[in-house]
Amino acid sequence: MEPPAQRTQRNRVVGLLIAVALLALTCVASLAIGTENVSVSMVWQAVTDYHDVGDQWIVHDLRIPRTVLALLVGLALGLSGTLIQAVGRNPLADSEILGINSGAALFVVSAIAFLGMTGIWTYIWFAFAGALFAMLLVYLVGMTGRATVTPVRVLLAGVAIGAVMDGVGYAVRLRNPQAFNNMRFWDAGALDARPLEVAAAIAPFIAVGAVLCLVVGRSLNVTALGDDLAKSMGGNVARTQILSLIAVTLLAGAATAGAGPIGFVGLMVPHAVRRFTGPDWRWILAYATAVAPALLLAADIVGRVIIRPAELPAGIVTAFLGAPVLIWLIRKRGADRS
Amino acid sequence: MTSAESGHPVTGQRDSRLSADHLVIGYEDTAVIADLSVDVLDGRITAIVGPNACGKSTLLRGFARLLKPSGGQVILDGHDIGSLHTKEVARRLGLLPQTSIAPEGITVADLVSRGRFPHQKVLRQWSRSDDEAVAEAMRCTGVCELSGRLVDELSGGQRQRVWVAMVLAQQTPLVLLDEPTTYLDIAHQVELLDLFAMLNREQDRTVVAVLHDLNHACRYADQIIAMKSGSIVAQGDPKSVITEELVEAVYGLKCQIIDDPQTGTPLVVPRASPHVRART
Amino acid sequence: MTITQNDTAGVTFGRRQCVIRIGNVSARASWRAIIVVAALLVGAFAIAVVAVGLGKYTVAPADVLGVLTGSNTSFDRVVVLEWRMPRMLMALLIGSTLGISGAIFQALTRNALGSPDIIGVTSGAYTGALIVIAGIGGGYYAVAAGALIGGLVTAVLVYALSYRNGLAGFRLIVVGIAVSAVVNSVNQWIIIKIDFHTAVTASVWQQGTLSGQSWSQALPMTVCLVVMAAFLVAMGPQLPVLQMGDDAAGALGVRPDRARLAYLVVGVGLVALACAAAGPISFVALAAPQIARRLTASPGVGLVPSAVMGAVLLLVSDVIAQQVFSGSELPVGAVTVSLGGAYLIYLLISQARQR
């Protein structure tokens, strides 16, 4: 009988492989399912040896870009949510609920409406600025002052700031409705009708963010213990926080620039995978890279199918799935534990 | 020890306005109090004592009509308390609860005047009698000079006196107190109990208090109801009820009972364990 | 009859009280509260007079007053009375409705953040309204009834999900936020399903708007509002008593469960009225009671000051919504969300400083 530690490690690896397999399956499903279902063999054809024959165009022109985008955005949201929860020591958080996505969205729509920037390569920088701005505000409102910092307090700050940003963003959009005619996804976060270049534009930033996650991964476990304890164990808390801040800015900003604000993915994923990984943040991050995209893809697929032939934006589906998770989380916490 | 059934007081002449008759009170499926009957002596101070979770607060809240009995009844002035109008009950019975919330930013006078609610009507929000009752209540409890201050700013002792003033402003002939001395230091505890003794003597109010300090109960009460596990183990005047056997049976504490040098009432002195004896 | 200005006989209230006694009838209020309410009413009137004159066809305030008194019978009359006044009045009505309901909810939850738009009741009421509009169809009363049911279901849901051996305030808020998210998604889904012409119209619906208000809606809404107000008056000052905790309230002669239920139904009913008339307008219910409370320096939230404050807030928001972009018009809900969100941030900061 192998020792427990090794057994756990082995289980985790197996679990991760299963998660990756699930991701692959979901990808295939995403390519096949939709308003019109395409058979798997045709999907295979379209991917490997594309000819403009039959329904292959659906796969090639519509679903591949969509799936790729969902993979990237899901990855970004999952990783950023995990980082926020780890560094913020706050299980009730992700980039949407803390208003970070709303900040990114506001700056993007402002850039489009006031500065005429229509290319994603240009307005993505505004997304980063907006995400950073929102994070700063949430920090100021939720984490300073004499009152104790509790997850609920930060959550409320995020909700308030998100609401203001949403309201102002909405007003900005109304200023120049034509510019947003093909950008309806800003209301609910949607992955459809986005050309592959969007995915290409956000990919490098997400990659950098993911690498940063790798870098801070080890120190997350120590940071999670609290500032004092972490320092006494030799962890460099400030460095972890700054790197995480940069990572979240890149990940959340890129995700929002690519697909509009999508919530709850970052919130749900760390909790969902913790059952299999235990409290080790490196493993949670690892699992998140597979599970989060799969989750978003699944939500997107559900959105395509549930009200055929119309489509439900992915952001709506994730809200439907994620809110019960939030409720379950807060009920679990017990009376006054912060 | 007197049994629960023979609830007749030693002095024997007063009626009982408030009593419990085969009372059964519980939460969800468990009955905290089962088949309890007792008469509260009118015009006297009654103390309900017992270990934690023996049901004394439950009994008091049953008396105050905060809990609905699943069996039996609480009788107030000859009627089932559940059949009386709530405001009518509030005019006869006042309760000082264990936990109350003072709304943020409320002044002392505002809080005390809320005690007049049972006497007010939609069109009669602040009659002269309301005025006088509040002024009198604040005079009695000595909070007049705190009148315009915010309750949030007061000390624990002052705040408790303000809540007492609110109950007094209600001008009820019966006053129920649920562990009124819990958050107070010893001086304020005595001060508060002296106040209730005064109210009982001078205004002839019936006082029923749940007290966790047995010695306080002995000193101030005319009638003691000792409870354990939801039933009454003994009741009567302190001297006959508080005996060494009873204290051991109810609290599990070995003690010695002497006469209080100040009042002559029973004083419970716990037996010292060998560790403590070794220190002297 | 006596009206005393000073402190009542022997009782120093700390703030000067105004006591009126006529025979057996008596009432008492703090002077500050009376002055604040009066000032807000005057302010609302002044803003309305000025704002009703703004737009492509301007009417000077003096002329507006002339129209109201009847001395001005020019075309101004049409502009003021037929075009713009209904909207102003609706803003005042809906604003006071939202203010009262916010006060009720905040008192019931004993939490300054426990307002119907944060805990999802407003969204739920809107769901009910949408279902009636999209599915069954009907006039104002039908839509309001649907909104009432939707709001009640949501309120019960939030209460049930957050109740766990008692009601911790923050748990209620978080559950409310979560339920709100779900219900908002449902609303968006319904709006997508309904055949709207453009996305702009659809998203305008999501924010709450006062454009297109007419007298035909004002009347039924006023009727319902008066009924509810009468009910609230008849209930007497039970709400302040409830705020002292169930035990203290019970001891004073209030039945806590029944009173809470009654107030809850009225609170949701008021939200439903507002929703049925103008869609979901958020943050007025949150901000009005707290701002009113600070101005009147009173303990806990007051129904009348909240109502008047809500009226002023919504009126100002609507003026901003109409005027800030020359040419196009914002839905008032967008303005209230921005202003209200900013207010919420301020509230959180000041709470953080205190504790």
At A162-209, the pLDDT tens digits run 888 888 887 787 777 666 665 555 666 778 777 888 888 999 999 999
* Cβ contacts of A191 within 8 Å, gap of 6 or more: A66, A69, A70, A73, A185, A259, A296, A300, A314
C-beta of residue B151 within 8 angstroms of C-beta of residue C300: no
Q: Which of C177, C197, C326 to mutate to test the interface with A (most CBs of A within 10 A)?
A: C177
Exposed/middle/buried for residue A332 (C-beta within 10 Å: 0-12, 13-18, 19+): exposed
**A&C contacts, CB < 8 Å:** 148
Q: Dihedral sign, CA of B86, B87, B88, B91?
A: positive
Q: Write the pLDDT tens digit of every residue in C245-256.
A: 888 999 999 988
Q: Is the pLDDT of residue B61 over 50?
A: yes
User: Whole-angstrom Cα distance, residue A221 to residue A282?
Assistant: 8
Q: How high is the pLDDT of residue A91?
A: 84
| C-alpha dist (Å) from residue C41 to A156, B145, C38, C92, C93 | 32, 36, 5, 10, 13
Q: Is the pLDDT of residue C107 over 80?
A: yes
User: Whole-angstrom Cα distance, residue A29 to residue C193?
Assistant: 25
Beta-sheet strand order (sheet of B206-210): B93-96, B174-178, B206-210, B45-49, B223-228, B231-236
Pairing of strands B79-80, B93-96: unpaired
Helix (H, G, I), strand (E, B) or coil at A119: coil
Contact C341 A167 (CB under 8 A): yes
Share of chain B above pLDDT 70, in %: 94
C-beta of residue B19 within 8 angstroms of C-beta of residue B194: no
- Locate A326 and state its tokens: 């939030």
How many Cβ atoms are within 10 Å of A215's Cβ, its own excluded? 14
Contact C250 B65 (CB under 8 A): yes
Nearest in space to B171 (alpha carbons), one of B117, B212, B108, B228:
B117
Q: Which of A210-219, B156-165, C80-89, C194-203 has the lowest mean pLDDT?
A: C194-203
Q: Write the pLDDT tens digit of every residue in C262-317.
A: 998 999 999 999 988 888 888 899 899 989 998 998 888 889 999 999 999 999 99
Nearest in space to C248 (alpha carbons), one of B151, B259, B244, B261:
B151
Q: How confident is the model at residue C28 (pLDDT cuts 50, 70, 90)?
A: confident
Q: Which of B125, B128, B135 sits opposite C27 (nearest CB)?
A: B125
Q: How confident is the model at residue C352 (pLDDT cuts 50, 70, 90)?
A: confident
Q: Which of C252, C303, C350, C354 to mutate to test the interface with B (most CBs of B within 10 A)?
A: C252
Q: Write the pLDDT tens digit of every residue in A265-297.
A: 999 899 888 888 888 899 999 999 999 999 999
User: Whole-angstrom Cα distance, residue C308 to residue C280?
Assistant: 19
Q: Is the pLDDT of residue A123 over 50?
A: yes
User: Whole-angstrom Cα distance, residue B135 to residue B119?
Assistant: 15
Pairing of strands B45-49, B223-228: parallel
Q: Is the pLDDT of residue A308 over 80?
A: no
Q: Which of A141, A152, A319 sits opposite C349 (nearest CB)?
A: A141
According to the 3-state scheme, what is the secondary structure of chain C?
Answer: CEEECCCCCCCCCCCCEEEEEECCEEEEEEHHHHHHHHHHHHHHHHHHHHHCCCCCCCCCHHHHHHHHHCCCCCCHHHHHHHHHHHHHHHHHHHHHHHHHHHHHHHHHHCCCCCCCCCCCHHHHHHHHHHHHHHHHCCCHHHHHHHHHHHHHHHHHHHHHHHCCCCCCHHHHHHHHHHHHHHHHHHHHHHHHHCCCCCHHHHHHHHHCCCCCCCHHHHHHHHHHHHHHHHHHHHHCCHHHHHCCCHHHHHHCCCCHHHHHHHHHHHHHHHHHHHHHHHCCCCCHHHHHHHHHHHHHCCCCCCHHHHHHHHHHHHHHHHHHHHHCCCCCCCCHHHHHHHHHHHHHHHHHHHHHHHC
Exposed/middle/buried for residue B26 (C-beta within 10 Å: 0-12, 13-18, 19+): middle
Contact C181 A323 (CB under 8 A): yes
CA of A330 to nearest chain C CA: how many angstroms apart? Answer: 7
Q: How high is the pLDDT of residue C227?
A: 93
Helix (H, G, I), strand (E, B) or coil at B66: coil
Q: Is the pLDDT of residue B268 over 90?
A: yes
Q: How high is the pLDDT of residue B222?
A: 94
Q: Write the pLDDT tens digit of every residue in B111-141.
A: 999 999 999 988 888 888 898 999 999 988 8
- Locate B253 and state its tokens: 């504490």
Mean pLDDT in residue range B31-55: 89
Full-model pTM:
0.82
- Locate B154 and state its tokens: 């007061």
Share of chain C above pLDDT 70, in %: 91
Q: Which residue has the tokens 């890129």?
A: A254
Q: How high is the pLDDT of residue A183?
A: 56
Q: Which residue of C has its CA nearest to B138?
A: C11
Q: How high is the pLDDT of residue C51?
A: 87
Q: Dihedral sign, CA of C6, C8, C12, C15?
A: negative
Q: How confident is the model at residue A79 (pLDDT cuts 50, 70, 90)?
A: very high
Q: Is the pLDDT of residue A66 over 70?
A: yes
Q: How confident is the model at residue B12 (pLDDT cuts 50, 70, 90)?
A: very low
User: Whole-angstrom Cα distance, residue B244 to residue B241?
Assistant: 9
Q: How confident is the model at residue C206 (pLDDT cuts 50, 70, 90)?
A: low
Q: Which of B238-242, C96-100, C192-196 has the lowest mean pLDDT?
A: C192-196
Q: Dihedral sign, CA of B231, B234, B238, B243?
A: negative
C-beta of residue C275 within 8 angstroms of C-beta of residue C129: yes
Describe the crossing of helices C256-278 and C215-235 by its angle, rounded to 10 degrees: 170
Nearest in space to A104 (alpha carbons), one of A123, A80, A131:
A131
Q: Which of B86, B103, B118 sits opposite C244 (nearest CB)?
A: B103
Query: C57 — phi, psi (to 5°)?
Result: -105, 105
Q: How high is the pLDDT of residue C172?
A: 82
* Cβ contacts of C226 within 8 Å, gap of 6 or more: none
CA of A322 to nearest chain C CA: how many angstroms apart? Answer: 8
Q: Which of A145, A152, A187 sits opposite C203 (nearest CB)?
A: A187
Q: Is the pLDDT of residue B1 over 50?
A: no
Q: Is the pLDDT of residue B13 over 90?
A: no
C-beta of residue A279 within 8 angstroms of C-beta of residue A301: no
Q: How high is the pLDDT of residue A198?
A: 86
Give strand pairing partners of A48: none
| C-alpha dist (Å) from residue C352 to A150, A210, C295, C347 | 11, 34, 20, 9
Mean pLDDT in residue range C63-77: 80
Contact C177 A155 (CB under 8 A): yes
Q: Is the pLDDT of residue C160 over 70?
A: yes
Q: How high is the pLDDT of residue A185?
A: 58
Q: How high is the pLDDT of residue A179?
A: 62
The radius of gyration of chain B's CA atoms, rounded to the nearest angstrom, is 19
| C-alpha dist (Å) from residue B279 to B269, B272, B274 | 18, 11, 9
- Locate C211 and state its tokens: 């454009």
- Locate C146 and state its tokens: 């649907």
Nearest in space to C310 (alpha carbons), one of C338, C340, C337, C288:
C288
Mean pLDDT in residue range A151-159: 83
Share of chain A above pLDDT 90, in %: 29
User: Whole-angstrom Cα distance, residue A63 to residue A60?
Assistant: 6
* Cβ contacts of A189 within 8 Å, gap of 6 or more: A259, A260, A261, A262, A263, A313, A314, A315, A318
Q: How confident is the model at residue C162 (pLDDT cuts 50, 70, 90)?
A: confident
**pLDDT higher at A7 or A97:** A97
For B269, the enclosing helix (H) or strand (E) is: strand B266-270
Q: How confident is the model at residue C99 (pLDDT cuts 50, 70, 90)?
A: very high
User: Whole-angstrom Cα distance, residue A290 to residue A298?
Assistant: 12
Which amino acid, one-letter code, is at C79? V
User: Whole-angstrom Cα distance, residue C45 to residue C51?
Assistant: 10
Mean pLDDT in residue range B82-101: 90
Asked if C283 is an interface residue toward chain A (Cβ–Cβ < 8 A), one would say: yes
Q: How high is the pLDDT of residue C9?
A: 59
- CA C7 from chain center: how many Å? 33
Q: Is the pLDDT of residue A157 over 90?
A: no
User: Whole-angstrom Cα distance, residue C31 to residue C34?
Assistant: 5
Following DSSP, what letter does each residue of A184-218 receive, concatenated?
THHHH---SS--HHHHHHHHHHHHHHHHHHHHHHH
Q: Is the pLDDT of residue B11 over 70?
A: no
Q: How many CA atoms lie within 13 A of B268 on its CB side?
A: 23
Q: How confident is the model at residue B163 (pLDDT cuts 50, 70, 90)?
A: very high
Strand residue runs (E) in B41-134: 45-49, 71-76, 79-80, 93-96
Q: Is the pLDDT of residue B178 over 70?
A: yes
Q: How high is the pLDDT of residue C78?
A: 77
Q: Which of residues 295-334 of A touch C (CB under 8 A)?
A: 307, 310, 312-313, 315-317, 319-320, 322-324, 326-327, 330-331
Q: How high is the pLDDT of residue A167?
A: 80
- Locate A219 and state its tokens: 């120190």
Contact B134 C9 (CB under 8 A): no
Q: Dihedral sign, CA of C242, C245, C247, C251?
A: negative
Give strand pairing partners of B107: B150
Pairing of strands B223-228, C2-4: unpaired
Q: How high is the pLDDT of residue A133?
A: 94
Residues of chain C contacting B125 with CB distance shorter than 8 Å: 26-28, 237
Nearest in space to A31 (alpha carbons), one of A71, A69, A58, A49:
A58
* Cβ contacts of C73 within 8 Å, gap of 6 or more: none
Q: Is the ipTM of this complex over 0.90?
A: no
Q: Is the pLDDT of residue A335 over 60?
A: no
Q: How high is the pLDDT of residue C81?
A: 78
Pairing of strands B30-40, B93-96: unpaired
**pLDDT higher at C334 or C10:** C334
